[in-house]
Structure 1
Amino acid sequence: MTVYFHEEDLPEGVLAANGTGGGPIAVDTETMGLITPRDRLCLVQLSDGSGDEHLVRFNRGSDYAAPNLKAVIGDPDRLKIFHFARFDIAALEYYLGVKCEPVYCTKIASRLIRTYTDRHGLKELVRELLGQDISKQQQSSDWGGPELSEAQRDYAASDVRFLHAMRDELDRRLAREGRTELAQACFDFLPTRARLDIAGWPEIDIFAHA
C-alpha cells in the first residue's frame, strides 16, 4: 500500500481507464470549511481499490485545470464511490466544473440499511463493517496550508482506502432487505441535490408541503 502525493493534477495515465472501462473509483475531498462557494477545495483523494491512494493537492490561487483528474472523476462510464457524496460532488462541480455521475454514497446506503443506529460516520462504518479502526483527528485541520503533514496525508488516504470494501458489504445488506432499488434512486438524485446546494437551497426541502 502506497500513498502518492501530486500537485494540481494526476500524472497522465494514473487511474485512467485506458480503454478498458476501468473499475469504480473511491473519491473524497478536503476543503477549507463546509460552505462550498466560500471554502476552497484543497485536496482530492482517489483510490481504485488496488491498495494505493492518490492525493491531488490544490494551492491557493489554483485555476483547477487538472485535465487528468477531471477525466477520471468525470468519466460517465465509471462509478464514483463517496462517503457523504452530496458535499464532495458539490465541491468537485463548483471548483473543477466536472459532473460526477454515476455515484454511490456509503453514508446513504448506511442510513437505508443500518436503521438500528444513528451513527453513520465513516469511522463507525469502517469499524462495524470491516473491523478496522481509523483516526479522525485530522478532520478539522488546516488543509490550505503550504505543507500537509504526514498525519494529514495518512488521514486523507484513509478516507478512500475502505470505500470499495464497504460498498460490497452494504450492497449485500441492501439486497438482503430489498432496498437496492431505493438506494439506487437516491444515488441517481445526488448530483441534482448537490446542484441545489450550490444554487442556494442547501437546507430547504423543496418537496415539503410547508
Structure 2
Amino acid sequence: MTTFLHDGDLPADALASASAVAIDSETMGLRLGRDPLCVVQLSDGQGDAHVVQLRRPDYDCPNLKRLLTDPAVTKIFHFGRFDIAMFFLHLGVVTAPVYCTKIASKLARTYTDRHGLKDVTKELIGVDLSKAQQSSDWGAAKLSDDQVAYAASDVLHLHALRARLDDMLAREGRDALAKACFEFLPHRALLDVAGWEDTDIFAHS
C-alpha cells in the first residue's frame, strides 16, 4: 500500500481508469459555511490512497473537480451528505453519481444503531480503524504523518464495504430503495447548504 500526498490538486493521471473512487474529506469543523474544507482523500480500492491538501482560499483543483463531476465514476462515501455539501460550498461542484455506505448500512443493518465507519468496518470486513486523528488541526500548513495515514485509512476500505453492503441490500430486497436514496443524496446536500440542514421537508409538521 502506498499513500500519495499531493499539494493543491489530484494529478491529472491519478485514478484515471477507475470506475468507482472512494472519497472522504477533512475540515476544520462540522459547520457548513463556517468551517473550511482542508483535505480530500481518495482511493480506487486497489490498496493505494491519494491525499490532497487543498490550497485555501482559492481551491484551484480542476482535476479533482473533474473527477467529482464525472458521470462515469461512482463516488463512494461514508456519510456523503456532509462531504458533498462541503464540495459544493468550497469547490463549486455538485458531486454525482454517488454511493453512501452509511445510508446502505442503515438500510441493510437494521439489527443495530451503530452505523459509524469504525463500527461498520469492524463488523463487515474485520478491520479496526483508528480514529485518533479525527479531531486534529487539518488546516495546518504541513500535515503530520499520522494525519496522512488517518486520512488514507478512511477511504482504503470503502470499496470492500460497498461490496458487502450490496450483498446485504440485495438479500433484504432493499437495493432499489438504496439506489434511489443515493440518487437523491446530492439534492439533500444542496438543501443543507440552502438552509434546510435541520429540517425534514417530508415531515407532516
TM range, smaller chain: over 0.9
TM-score (norm 2): 0.97
CA distance in 1, matches of 2:51, 2:151: 8
Q: What TM-score results when the alignment is normalised by the length of structure 1?
A: 0.95
**Which stretches in structure 1 are left out of the alignment for 5+ residues?**
none
* 1:38 counterpart residue number: 34
The separation in 1 between residues aligned to 2:176 and 2:137, in whole angstroms, is: 39
* Aligned partner letter, 1:174: L
- In structure 1, give the amino acid aligned to 2:79: F
1:100 aligned to which of 80, 89, 95: 95
TM-fit CA distance, 1:207: 1.0
Distance in structure 2 (CA, Å) of the matches to 1:135 and 1:205: 33
Match of 1:25 in 2: 21
Q: Deviations over 1:31-73 (max 9, x none)?
A: 11111211000000000111100011024x3311201111111
> In 1, Cα distance between the equivalents of 2:171 and 2:181?
18
Task: Report the Cα offset of residue 101 of structure 1.
Answer: 0.9
State the AA in 1 paired with 2:29.
G
Gaps of 5+ in 2: none
Which residue of 74, 82, 85 corresponds with 1:79?
Answer: 74
1:13 aligns with 2:13: yes
> What is the RMSD of the two structures over their aligned residues, measured on CA atoms?
0.9
Q: 2:169 aligns with which of 155, 161, 174?
A: 174
Superposition deviation, residue 16 in structure 1: 2.0
Q: Deviations over 1:127-148 (max 9, x none)?
A: 0000111100111111001111
**Counterpart Cα distance in 2 of 1:172 and 1:68:** 33
Task: Give identity over the alignment, percent.
Answer: 60
Structure 2 CA distance for aligned equivalents of residues 144 and 103 of structure 1: 26
Does the 8 A contact of 2:24 with 2:40 survive in 1?
yes
Query: Given residue 26 of structure 1, which amino acid in structure 2 is its aligned partner?
Result: A
- Please list every run of at least 4 consecutive aligned residues from structure 1 whose deviation after the TM superposition is greater than 3 angstroms: none
CA deviation string 1:7-52 (max 9, x = no partner): 11012211124xxxx3100000001111121100000000011110
